[in-house]
Structure 1
Amino acid sequence: MKIIAGVDIGNSTTETALFRLEDETKYKFISSSIVRTTGIKGTVGNISGIIDVLKEAAQKAGIVINDIDLILLNEATPVIGDVAMETITETIITESTMIGHNPSTPGGVGLGTGNTVDIRDLDKHEDEKVICLIPREIDFEEAAAMINTALEKGVDVQGAIVQKDDGVLISNRVKKNMPIVDEVSEIHKVPKGMPAAVEVARPGETIKTLSNPYGIATVFNLNSEETKMIVPIARALIGNRSAVVIKTPKGDIKERKIPAGTLTIVGERNSLLINIQEGSEKIMETVEKLWPISDVKGESGTNAGGMLERVRQIMSEITGQGLSSIKIQDILAIDTMVPQKIRGALAGEFAMENGVALAAMVKTSRLPMEQIARKLKDELGIDVHIQGVEANMAVLGALTTPGSDIPIAVLDMGGGSTDAALMNKERKVTSIHLAGAGDMVTMLINSELGLNDIGIAEDIKRYSLAKVETLYSIRLEDGTVKFFAHPLKPELFARVVLLKENVMVPLPTDHSMERIRNVRRRAKREVFVTNAVRALSIISPANNIRHIPFVVLVGGSALDFEIPDMISDSLARYGIVCGRANVRGKEGPRNAVATGLVLSYISGR
């Protein structure tokens, strides 16, 4: 009797399956386990995670780790994926002062124009159009009284910029309707005596004049060249309920160009240079045209160039191989939105620029896996074999799913990469590894929603949403309403929440539930559906995806509550039967490679 452990080292998790081999043909599965991968997949940093997962599985089986006779590893060469955001266009950012931060309590409504004046100096500006600046030390009652007095003296107060959140309180007390933007924390930086425009839209509406470059040009009497300069400002204000634009002195206006950069995509026969300005569709068309890819290089001094070189450097350090031998084997480009900070902004405003998200994958030699095997054997005193190629093992494990048969394709969707393998009727396996998976989805959500928190973005990816409409009801993202017998926590009222296990978690963002849902679903579709079709097209006979009858989904992302349905819907038009695996009829989409390793060993004896 012999106990064998199959160990699958993935980008995010390390899994094991323990089998008891009773004779040449008789075997029995006894336990499985899963832990977070330690280190980068395929490097000696994986050792501690392997030992942890083996200990856990052994404990479940009622044995100790030393009872294991043989450890089988997948022949996974080190793969590293990384992502970078790169702007598509050469963005001109104007260092004129602007405010457009959508405060929660703007006052009044309409558009007001005039020169900026400290509220304490209003009486010096009779018969002038002015925008008054109200610092923190002046409370709302005093401010309203000062404005009313100035209006009686003939000062044409057109609007106000307030440091505190007193917009509505001041608006309710002044004798004239005027737009008031509040919560401007750095009001001391607002230049005085400069032409300014303040706009506040009606509740439920958005501003129209200051979000339009020609509207700003009309207000400030700009020529065509100056109008080009303020396009980023207008774009940054689109969708806001309130905004302020101030024309600064000529000497204060500067421009800064952010180069979009280029990528050099190297194929086996030739290479092509493509500007990131052309967008993700053109980049991926170039990748497809040159496939298979030998390497990808980014322009020095750009985000993309830095990211690709960082990937090479990290892999070189952990494997001991020279930089020249580290090649990028695939990239995935996706159009997205990148927040760019507006220079001269006084409330942390950002312009959402069109951008490209890039995921890159590096593959090195088999040597590091041999290092893992030797070190693991030295530490545990257990024989360790590198059993077979990861994709082949995944197919063998997936074939234990009830209802599956060959020819069959497996999509292994993890954190860093999307892998696919096809076993034909002759049991020959073709496989491919592509850049981009769960980690890229998280990055896109984080960027497009402006969260600056990967943890929150990860939760948004994993869980469905709801809007708390009353203290006794929530509206789920599918439109249905759920009622509760007991009141919900007051802090949840009117908030968008994540429906985690038995708890509602409010999201620290003002985005609507519909906006968050759309961003989440688009990110998943762009990454997983795109890569699923790419991968299956590459491995299918004659590159015709319709020749594949069955597709089984495995890996952590196959557990997602919507990704499998998206992929199934996309593949349905090709007549493909697609669904989650159920390894050995009990594990679901997990444990396919670990199980396949043991089955491969048994069948090959």
Structure 2
Amino acid sequence: MEIIAGVDIGNATTEVAIAKKDEMKIEFMGSSLYKTTGLKGTEENIEGIKKAILLLLEKLNLKLENLDLIRINEATPVIGDVSMETITETIITESTMIGHNPDTPGGCGIGLGITIDIDDLQNLLENDEENYIVIANGNKNFLEIAKILNFSRNRGIKVMGAILQKDDGVLVNNRLLVKIPIVDEVQLIEKIPLGVKCCIEVASKGRVIEKISNPYGIATVFNLNSEETKKVVPLSKALIGNRSGVVIKTPQGDVKEKIIPAGNLYIKTNKSLESVGIQEGAEKIMKKISFLDVEDIFGEDGTNVGGMLKNVKNTMHKFTGENIDDIKIKDLLAVDTFVPQKIKGGLAGEFMCENAVGLAVMVGTEKNQMNHLANMIKNELGVNVEVGGVEADMAIKGALTTPGTGKPLAIIDIGAGSTDACSIDKYGRRSHIHLAGAGNMVTLLIQKELGIEDFNLAEDIKKYPLAKVESFFNIRYEDGTVEFFNEPLSTDIFAKNVLVKNGELVPIDIKISLEKIRQIRRESKRKVFVTNSKRALRKISLTKDIRDFEFVIIVGGSALDFEVPEMITESLSKYGIVAGCGNIRGVEGPRNAVATGLVLGDEEC
């Protein structure tokens, strides 16, 4: 009898299964997992492999010398990044606009006038005919500002709106005899030009501005011609969805656009070289790729996508030592998304959402690289190591240990970086595919669309349900259910959106509604998990029709997600397919399929 360890090196985790095996039977002893160290399929994986194996051996009261064989998967790395469809960099000189959205603007309505410093109001003659927008820096408190504005109104000065540096909009407005729209929290207020035409708009509670978020509205206010109207499109786009905003027209109209091209994708086959523009969107990109036998994918020089794909190959060259010309991108998943882009020169942290195409790519590695890794593991641990089959083949062997399953069968193995699929018919004939894009791609989309810098926070938003803290004693979950508490909740989370993570309430400090966060999370999952699951099934179908499969088992780390299995099951149900999560060996749930398959090795399915 020999003891075998199957080791599945994933993009996020390394999973191990250990079993006793002889000619008559296989007895599984246990499993473990550990975070993958380094890029999947490279020498840095050894530390994670060692930790995962030692953890399990300790649990089983075994030592390394008790192991007869370690069998590893053919680990193909997948790297995800985002390439912009169009990046419009709006360079603002002389403070051309403020795309502002403070939490508590004052007043309501539209104010149009000439910008003037609050201290200069006293120099105006009574009943001055001009309309004014008052600029007040942080040197005065709200009582002083309100007093000056009221006094100026009594003198007949037409104060039509105000821009404040402090968070005093509501306090000032409550003390005004005549209500005006007020935008506050403008940090760089000293950069606002004086003596120029300005339009300020504040929407009522629960609504958003309409006039200056429309390029034709801006054109109407400032009497712009058709060419000038084209130039203010980025400004109006930045104001869409805001409760307040300001547009200021400088004498020069200094709004410049710099378009950084997204570029073209080039798809090399054994017969031709095809191209598709990133600006055409994800649907056309995927339609083009789906009909081609891809040998390599690369991007146009000097463009966003060209730089992104070069960076992927350079990363692989660094880790594997392979010649960069020999590194090929074998598959690509493109997803339409939106990415907040900060506007340079803004006065209050303004940004606008630009269309973008998210890309996950799969870099093909040679088996020689895996043999090299196997030799290094052998030298490190002193145990014989061999490379098993491709992940999809191993996963289907593991998936078939799920109680109640049988042939014919298709499995979808959804990990962090790739989506693998394999089918087996009643005669044992198989088909498999290895595709780019899975859990990490979803996290990346959530991170980019929400404008979050912390990847780990985006990962948590993907994995855990949301709630709103409504009082010190209750929260309302995203599905509408309410939970009450006997003890008061922390003031740190009062009135905030939170993640319900392992029984703890973790605040999400971003100014986006719970409903919007939930929408972005769910749409990101559909775009990647559901799309790739269907794509994978079509690839392994002899007729390219999903309806060829009666039963589908979902396995892999992403199958543990609280939403994904239901999304995929619902999506496949319209094709008459029975789909659900696997339960490997009746005890592991959807995890450990590949590691289990590696232990089974050449055993007949």
TM over 0.5, yes or no? yes
Q: Within 5 A, what are the aligned runs for 1:562-601?
A: 562-601=563-602
Deviation of 1:244 (Å): 0.8
2:47 corresponds to:
48
- Per-residue CA deviation, residues 398-437 of structure 1 (Å, 9 max, x unaligned), is 1000011112111111111111111222223221111111
Match of 2:557 in 1: 556
Does 1:232 find its partner at 2:230? no
Residue aligning to 1:112: 111
**Per-residue deviation, 1:93:** 6.1
Match of 2:145 in 1: 143
Tell me the equivalent position of 1:503: 504
Secondary structure of the corresponding residue to residue 416 of structure 2: coil
Is the contact made by 1:90 and 1:260 (CA closer than 8 Å) also made in structure 2? no
SS of alignment partner, residue 538 of structure 2? helix
Identity of aligned residues (%): 53
2:466 corresponds to? 465
8 Å Cα contact 1:171-1:177 kept in structure 2: yes
Aligned mate of 1:281, from 274, 277, 283? 283
TM-score by length of 1: 0.96
Distance 2:200 2:531 in 1: 44
Which one-letter code corresponds to 1:515 in the other structure? K
Q: Is the 8 A contact 1:442 1:458 kept in 2?
A: yes
Hey, what's the Cα distance between the residues in 2 that align with 1:524 and 1:58?
Answer: 36
Please show how residues 68-467 of structure 1 align to structure 2 within 5 Å. Answer: 68-76=67-75, 78-88=76-86, 95=93, 97-126=96-125, 127=128, 128-250=130-252, 252-290=254-292, 292-467=293-468
Shift of 1:80: 2.7
Is the counterpart of residue 26 in structure 1 residue 25 in structure 2? yes
TM-score calculated relative to the size of structure 2: 0.96
How many angstroms does 1:576 deviate by?
1.4
Question: Could you tell me how far apart the structure 2 residues matched to 1:80 and 1:477 are?
Answer: 32
After the TM superposition, which of the residue ranges 36-45 and 558-567 deviates more from structure 2? 36-45
Q: Distance in 2 between matches of 1:64 and 1:186?
A: 64
Tell me the CA shift for residue 536 of structure 1: 0.5
**Partner of 1:575: helix, strand, or coil?**
coil
More off after superposition, 310-319 vs 550-559: 310-319
Counterparts of 2:185 and 2:178, CA distance in 1: 21
Deviations 1:480-502 (A, max 9, x none): 22222332223322211111111
Which digits, 9 at most, give the CA deviation of each residue in 1:12-46, with x for residues without a partner? 1111111122x421331112110011121112211
Q: Please tell me whether the aligned partners of residues 80 and 311 of structure 1 are also in contact (alpha carbons under 8 angstroms).
A: no
Shift of 1:360: 1.2
Q: Conserved in 1, the CA contact under 8 Å of 2:6 and 2:596?
A: yes
> How far, CA to CA, are the matches of 2:241 and 2:318 in structure 1?
47
Question: How far off is 1:90 after superposition?
Answer: 6.1
Residue type of the alignment partner of 1:176? V
Mean CA deviation greater in 543-552 or 581-590: 543-552
Residue 75 of structure 1 and its aligned partner are, at CA, apart by 2.9
Residue-pair matches, total:
601
* C-alpha separation in 2, matches of 1:498 and 1:184: 31
Hey, what does 1:490 align to over in structure 2? 491
Task: Give unpaired runs (5+ residues) of structure 1.
Answer: none
Structure 1 residue 546 and structure 2 residue 547: aligned? yes
Q: Deviations over 1:225-279 (max 9, x none)?
A: 1111111111111111111111122163322222232111223322222222211
> Deviation per CA, 1:130-165, whole angstroms, max 9, x where unpaired?
111111111111111111222222221111110000
Q: Is the Cα–Cα contact under 8 Å of residues 89 and 343 in structure 2 kept in the other structure?
A: no
Post-superposition CA distance 1:29-81 (Å, at most 9, x none) = 112110011121112211111111110110111111221111111233x3232
Q: Deviations over 1:417-475 (max 9, x none)?
A: 11111122222322111111111111111111122221111111000111122222222
Inter-partner Cα distance in structure 2 for 1:123 and 1:267: 75
**Secondary structure of 1:406 counterpart:** coil
Unmatched runs of 5 consecutive residues or more in structure 2: none
Conserved in 2, the CA contact under 8 Å of 1:391 and 1:431? yes
Residue 115 of structure 1 and its aligned partner are, at CA, apart by 1.1
CA contact 2:100–2:246 (8 Å) conserved in 1: no
Letter of the 2:257 partner, please give it: E
In the alignment, is the contact (CA less than 8 A) between 1:88 and 1:356 conserved in 2?
no
**Counterpart code for 1:53:** A
**Distance in 1 between residues matched to 2:346 and 2:203, nearest whole Å:** 20
Match of 1:39 in 2: 38
Letter in 2 for 1:595: T
Amino acid at match of 1:80: V
Query: SS at 1:293's partner residue?
Result: coil
Distance in 1, Cα, partners of 2:124 & 2:281: 52
Cα separation, partners in 2 of 1:289 and 1:27, compared to 1, 3 Å: closer
Q: Distance in 1 between matches of 2:245 and 2:464?
A: 34
- Paired with 1:474 and 1:92, the residues of 2 have a C-alpha distance of 41
8 Å CA contact 2:467–2:498 kept in 1: the answer is: yes
Q: Which amino acid aligns with 2:331?
A: D
RMSD in angstroms over aligned alpha carbons?
A: 1.7
- Cα distance in structure 1, aligned partners of 2:43 and 2:317: 14
8 A contact 1:123–1:153 mirrored in 2: no
Aligned to 2:16: 16
CA contact under 8 A between 1:106 and 1:168: conserved in structure 2? Answer: yes
Distance (whole Å) between structure 1 residues aligned to residue 604 and residue 59 of structure 2: 26
- Conserved? CA contact 2:231–2:256, under 8 Å: no
